[in-house]
Amino acid sequence: MERRKKDTVWEDDYVKKVAFLNELAKERIAFLATYTLPGFEDADKEASDDDGGSANTGEMNVNMDGVPLPSNDFLKKILPGAIKGYAKYNILPSLTLAQAALESGWGKSGIGNNVFGIKAGSSWTGKTQLVWTHEQNSSGVSTKIQAKFRDYDSIDDAVLDHAEVLSADRYEAVRTAKNYKEAAAAVKAGGYATDTQYVSKIVGTIEKNNLNAWDDPKYKDLVDFKSVGSSVARGDAKKVIEFAETWLDKSNRYVFGGGRTEADIKAGRFDCSSFCRHIFDQAGHSIMGHDGLWGSTDTLISNKNLKKVSTKDLKPGDLVFYHTYKMNGHVAIYLGGGKALGTQSSTGIAVIDQTKGYWKSKLANMHRRVL
């Protein structure tokens, strides 16, 4: 069959349009390869594989009533999260505020709400964006590279994840710093930035804007630690902690051997292992012993289906053990930040602090991960 002339003309026109679009696409790609997104020229921070796996920060209650707010609108958005990080990890708010301002150009940039310019390591499971940036060597020579950066749903998520990054062992000196100058030097020494002038830039930003005004320890008391666990947990771990935290407002009491009948559960009568078992059951994860019985702390610690984790590797949602009246005699659910939630004979269901005092002295070396 002879092809009609208008069909041939249409096909020729189509081919020309496709060729034009291909050339246009090549030009756009070439342009992007040379373009650096504003605000990320000095975003040379890199989180290691141990510095958090995703961001799901939820809500951590902080009462800002009576707190003097910064005059800068951008810093007003950062301050609540900065105080949360102060209460949880002792990270000075002045450091958090200054880093956010410096890295994002006072909020003018920050791709995917990443106002701290934190890169996405191999363990990061959240969203990412590919961005051109610069890194400096020890001599101050800058090299342009393309890197993946973390992408957050909100600025508050970014601020709280920044605190999680600085909770890593390599930033211990940041958390023990006595003032903002020590904190700035420690964050650079920990590998947060390659910019050789990073410390002076941070200190200068703090001093020029009086950001150390929020380093007063009294602001730590504004944070309600009741919600710390669910604010940093991820996925099913978040669900587990949320179920556990509901019991903080319910009538309950510690009963050795309790929590193994419906009547006990309804009345809030648990011992430490039955409380953990009940909470995980509610979240859809059985931690029943290999013998199929409710068991005890011994049953949990010997459960081969649960992964062994050390104290330094604890994550929210893990089962944390303590050597009380016997080895691994007590168990609770880890919230993060050195806090755990369980039922104790002296308090009933409550949050305990394992970073000091009795619970620090009783903390075991090995724990168990369910999720």
Could you tell me what percent of the chain has a pLDDT over 70?
Answer: 72
- pLDDT above 70: residue 254: yes
What average pLDDT does the segment 56-73 reach? Answer: 64
C-alpha 234/C-alpha 245 separation (Å) is: 15
pLDDT average, residue stretch 114-128: 79
What are the domain boundaries of the chain? 73-223, 233-369
CATH topology of domain 73-223: Lysozyme (1.10.530)
What are the backbone dihedrals phi and psi of residue 135, each rounded to the nearest 5 degrees, phi first?
Answer: -125, 145
Q: What is the mean pLDDT of residues 277-297?
A: 72
Residue 208 contacts by C-beta under 8 Å, 6 or more apart in sequence? none
Task: Tally the residues of the chain.
Answer: 371
**Best-predicted range by mean pLDDT (77-91, 194-208, 213-227, 239-253):** 194-208
> Is residue 270 very low, low, confident or very high in pLDDT (cuts 50, 70, 90)?
very high
Q: Are 81 and 159 in contact (CB under 8 A)?
A: yes
Classify the C-alpha dihedral 77-82-87-93 as positive or negative: negative
Reported pTM: 0.50
Query: Which range (222-231, 274-283, 297-306, 362-371) has the least confidence?
Result: 222-231
Q: Which of 130, 87, 76, 58 is nearest to 216 (CA)?
A: 87
pLDDT digits (tens, 9 = 90+) for 129-176: 777 665 656 666 667 666 788 888 888 888 988 998 898 888 999 999
pLDDT for 202: 96
Lowest mean pLDDT among 30-34, 93-97, 253-257, 353-357: 30-34
Percent of the chain past pLDDT 90, that is, above it, reads 29
**For all residues of the chain together, what is the average pLDDT?**
78
- Give the pLDDT score at 312: 84
- Which residue, chain included where needed, has tokens 């649960």? 306
- Taking 50 as the threshold, does the pLDDT of residue 346 lie above it? yes
The candidate with the shortest Cα–Cα distance to 265, out of 284, 239, 247, 288, is 247
* 124 φ/ψ angles, rounded to the nearest 5 degrees: -70, 125
DSSP symbols for 285-331: -----TTSS---HHHHHT-TTSEEEEGGG--TT-EEEE-SSSTT-EE
Residues 6 or more apart whose CB falls under 8 angstroms from that of 16 comprise: none
| DSSP tally for the chain: helices H, then strands E | 13, 10
The CATH number of domain 233-369, selected from 3.10.20.600, 3.30.70.20, 3.40.1360.10, 3.90.1720.10: 3.90.1720.10
